[in-house]
Amino acid sequence: MSQILLTPGPVPLHPEVIRILAQPMIHHRTPAFDEILSSCLQKLPKIFGTREKVFMHSSTGSGGMESVLVNVLSPGDKVLAIVSGKFGERWAEMAKTFGMQVDILNVNWGEAVTEEQVQNRLLTHTYRAVLCQACETSTAVLHPIRELGELIAKLPETLFLVDGITAVGAADLPMDLFHIDGLVAGSQKALMLPTGLSFVSFSQKAQKYFATATCPRFYFDIRKEQKANTGGETFYSSNVLLVRALDWVLNFIEQQGLKTFLNTVQRRSVMTHHFLSLAGLRSYSKNPSPSLTAIVLPENSPGVEMRKHLEDKYSVVVMGGQDQLKGKILRIGHMGYIQDSDMQSFFEALMKTFLDFKIAGWTEDKMKTIVEQMRNWCQKNS
């Protein structure tokens, strides 16, 4: 039975990616692979919006988050961690683990941090770095990265480190223009690949700390990759399978232009918010990211069971909420190889689930009307 995968990573794969994943294995120290790697290393900076180099690690996104910290920070460094959900918590905990003095700027879940909140901290404290998610995946919030970047750029000794795992390739996030000093992305998000690669890049301002940062690091030591990449290779065994597919994805993005590619993701977000309004539902995030939407379930819904029901009965896989949001929201991703029909099927299945669970106010007729309205929207906006 074929499932509809609508999670904020991993995402549905393009048929061409699947075809490339099924190619015979080749060795990574060969001219054939060198060419592919070189093509990727040349194209990745365009996706990051930077003149700097982008490096790859064979790891999940969290490995990339670790890389961004350990390559430019030292134990004892004072950092400000903006925490607005699960991934903010993780990054703050990571920084503590590596011996940094971490001040937490807690932001209400569902809200974006404000310039003012950050400015207040920066006026009274001196930080070596500010950590922020571009998109906090647990709440679907997009933070004002451009504005924060402008603030932090004024401080010569403070780095702006951004977790762009659920944002790079989905939201407009040009690293150089937004004054981002360290940016991380992951393969299983907007880059439409399976999990297994993370990507990191550092501004000139950040790179000068490569030599002085005293966090012990080996696997994630970017200096090794720098040297190896210069010679056209990766330092460790290359992730041949994903890098080959990455090359196709980067070409795919280049052919249509990054802006068009971002618009495709953005359009699914707009579509989702339109469908929500048709259904009288609302988004949890007060500043929604284009990469995913967190849908608030009708009050007193048995959210955990409903998510499972969607999967078991209607073969639609979406994510629920975590921690304080458990059972209260559903999170659907807008990245990857998604068809309009997948989005419509999800919403129809969601409404059927409301009927199955006898949620107040839901009738077969209401559902049919909305299904019709969704179809019309998709036709008009195709």
Q: Is residue 133 at the binding interface for its own copies, with CB under 8 A as the rule?
A: no
Site membership for its own copies, residue 215 (CB under 8 A): yes
For residue 212, state whether it binds its own copies (rule: CB under 8 A).
Answer: no
Measured distance CA(55)–CA(177) in Å, rounded: 19
Q: How far is the CB of 313 from its own copies (least distance, A)?
A: 14
Q: Are 102 and 90 in contact (CB under 8 A)?
A: no
119: contact with its own copies by CB under 8 A = no
Counting contacts by CB under 8 A, is residue 369 touching its own copies?
no
Query: Alpha-carbon distance 12 to 3, whole Å?
Result: 10
Among 99, 232, 298, 327, binds its own copies (CB under 8 A): 99
Q: Does 164 bind its own copies (CB under 8 A)?
A: no
- Candidate ranges 103-111, 187-195, 254-262, 360-368; the one touching its own copies (CB under 8 A): 187-195
101 is a site residue for its own copies (CB under 8 A)? no
Residue 218 tokens read as 């080996």
Tell me the window of 7-15, 257-265, 296-304, 344-352 that interacts with its own copies (CB under 8 A): 7-15
- Near its own copies by CB under 8 A: residue from 114, 117, 119, 195: 195
Rounded to 5°, the CA angle 34-39-45 comes to 130
Q: Would you say 227 or 368 has its CB closer to its own copies?
A: 227
Print the SS3 string covering the chain.
CCCEECCCCCCCCCHHHHHHHCCCCCCCCCHHHHHHHHHHHHHHHHHHCCCCCEEEEECCHHHHHHHHHHCCCCCCCEEEEEECCHHHHHHHHHHHHCCCEEEEEECCCCCCCCHHHHHHHHHHCCCCEEEEECEECCCCEECCHHHHHHHHHCCCCCEEEEECCCCECCECCCCCCCCCCEEEEECCCCCCCCCCEEEEEECHHHHCCCCCCCCCCCCCCHHHHHHHHHCCCCCCCCCHHHHHHHHHHHHHHHHHCHHHHHHHHHHHHHHHHHHHHHCCCEECCCCECCCEEEEECCCCCCHHHHHHHHHHHHCEECEECCHHHCCCEEEEECCCCCCHHHHHHHHHHHHHHHHHCCCCCCCHHHHHHHHHHHHHHHHHCC
Q: Which stretch binds its own copies (CB under 8 A): 57-65, 128-136, 145-153, 347-355?
A: 57-65
Closer to its own copies by CB, 69 or 118: give it: 69
In the bound state with its own copies, the residue whose beta carbon lies nearer, of 49 and 303, is 303
Q: What's the min distance (Å) between Cβ of 177 and its own copies?
A: 29
Q: Which of 58, 101, 106, 287 binds its own copies (CB under 8 A)?
A: 58
Nearer to its own copies, 216 or 302 (CB): 216
Per-residue contact track with its own copies, 12 to 41, x per CB under 8 A?
A: xx----xx-xx-xxxxxxx-----------
Q: How far is the CB of 187 from its own copies (least distance, A)?
A: 10
Q: Residue 62 interacts with its own copies (CB under 8 A)?
A: yes
Q: How far is the CB of 64 from its own copies (least distance, A)?
A: 9
Minimum CB separation of residue 60 from its own copies in Å reads 4
Q: Is 61 a residue that touches its own copies (CB under 8 A)? A: yes
Pairing of strands 319-320, 329-333: antiparallel
Q: If binding is defined by CB under 8 A, does position 334 make contact with its own copies? A: no
Site residues for its own copies per CB under 8 A: 2-3, 5, 7, 9-13, 18-19, 21-22, 24-30, 57-63, 66, 75, 93-94, 97-99, 186, 188, 194-196, 215-221, 236-242, 311, 317, 319
